Chain A
């Protein structure tokens, strides 16, 4: 699973996801992409699960690029613990995804395979998504 190698601080504020993506909203590597259309925190597990769904459907042909990285530590308090006594321990890593962000890109497979692979990946993600192709080609 993806996670930062080292961090400046162990715990982060929860934060909010405002507005649309200011970058990373065009295809840069592959011919097909999966674009988020709603804001949500995507966890490292969800990214890995979606990646596996894509590569399995592509039968290890073609190439996959992951355009998001989980760099926000999310903490949780243990079960049956009273409130207070400080912030909980970091449990997992997440990525704040804004609408418009390209999360995955694919190349080297047919349009039909790419579309189905992204449908399977979409089922693993908490955001609503859409299939995108390079500029000038019909979606």
Chain B
């Protein structure tokens, strides 16, 4: 797993007035916290941030942030976006220390869709989750998890117990075998089934 790098400058003042001033100056306010150290307020260049976001896996890659010459090993935890323009307003970074596991949302990739008879017959892949939260070692965060759809028919589903997770990772939800995806019947097929049901009911 590659580590991203990001250059940042320290911010002195906290609060919305200062944060807005940072945005007016053309930068994005952010914060680095965690690892039992004092949080530091920083600001980053929007273009650099946008590049990282568009690389994909923004929340599942370690980031090396250089703040005034000092490096911080962090992971992005949250990003606030403008509701209309989708431009970043603020970013949260959490320090990552060695020897600790962290909970990270890992994206899911659905493969072999054409090998699923349900999808061939017109069924729709209904992704209940597009990502799954795993407890992982920060140095070995998986890029993505592949979900194999081979052999799935309409109304079949994939649960977390059916998925082969990378070594050293475990789902944070342990109390139930949660669903990841189902193959739903197409709307046309549902309508036909409902019609048949009505006809049968009418005959009785």
A62–B56 touching, CB < 8 Å: no
Q: For the complex, is A132 an interface residue (Cβ under 8 Å from B)?
A: yes
B53 interface hit (Cβ, 8 Å):
yes
**Chief secondary structure at chain B's binding surface:** mixed
A61 touching B83 by the CB < 8 A rule?
no
Q: Which residue of A lies closest to B125 (CB)?
A: A108
Do A137 and B56 touch across chains, with their CB atoms under 8 A apart? yes
Complex interface residues of chain A between 45 and 74 (CB less than 8 A to chain B): 55, 60-63
The answer to whether A60 and B83 touch (CB under 8 A), given A107-B127, A136-B57, A138-B54, is: no
Given A20-B83, A100-B83, A100-B84: A63 and B126 within 8 A (CB)? yes
Interface string of B173-192 (1 = CB under 8 A from A): 00000000000101110000
**Complex contacts, B93 vs chain A, CB 8 Å:** none
B56 & A136 in contact (Cβ 8 Å cutoff): yes
Q: Indicate if B124 sits at the interface (CB-CB under 8 A).
A: yes
Q: For A135, what are the chain B residues with a Cβ–Cβ distance below 8 Å?
A: 53, 58, 79, 81
Contacting pair A136 B124 (CB below 8 A):
no
Give 1 or 0 for each of B108-148: 1 = CB within 8 Å of chain A CB: 00000000000000101111001000000000000000000
B86 is an interface residue with CB less than 8 A from chain A: yes
B112 to chain A, nearest CB (A): 16
Say whether B83 contacts A62, CB under 8 Å.
Answer: no
| Interface size of A in residues (CB-CB distance below 8 Å) | 25
A-chain residues with CB within 8 Å of residue B184 when the two chains form the complex = 63
Taking CB atoms, residues of chain A closer than 8 Å to B82 are: 20, 100
Does A132 contact B122, Cβ atoms closer than 8 Å?
no
Please classify how large the interface on chain B is, using the bins under 10, 10 to 19, 20 to 34, 35 or more: 20 to 34
5 contacts between A and B (CB under 8 A): A25-B84, A55-B187, A136-B57, A137-B56, A138-B54
Find the A residue at minimum CB distance from B184: A63
Whether the pair B84, A20 counts as a contact (CB closer than 8 A) is: yes
Q: Does A125 contact B (CB under 8 A)?
A: no
A21 CB, min distance to chain B CBs, angstroms: 5
- 10 closest A-B pairs (Cβ-Cβ)? A100-B83, A25-B83, A108-B124, A100-B84, A99-B84, A20-B83, A21-B83, A136-B56, A63-B124, A60-B188
A136 to B144 Cα, complex, angstroms: 14
> Could you say which residues of chain A place their CB within 8 Å of the CB of B58?
135-136
Whether A62 contacts B124 by the Cβ 8 Å rule is: yes
A137 partner residues in chain B, CB cutoff 8 A? 54, 56
Q: Does A3 contact B (CB under 8 A)?
A: no
Q: Which residues of A contact B125 (CB under 8 A)?
A: 107-108
Contact digits for A27-53, partner B, Cβ 8 Å, 1 yes 0 no: 000010001010000000000000000
Chain B residues with CB under 8 Å of A61's CB are: 122, 124, 186
Interface contact A99-B187, CB-CB below 8 Å: no
Min CB gap A6→B, angstroms: 25
Q: Residue on A with the closest CB to B113? A: A108
- Residues in chain B near residue A139, CB distance under 8 A: 86
Residue of B54, B81, B82, B84 most packed against chain A (CB within 10 A): B84
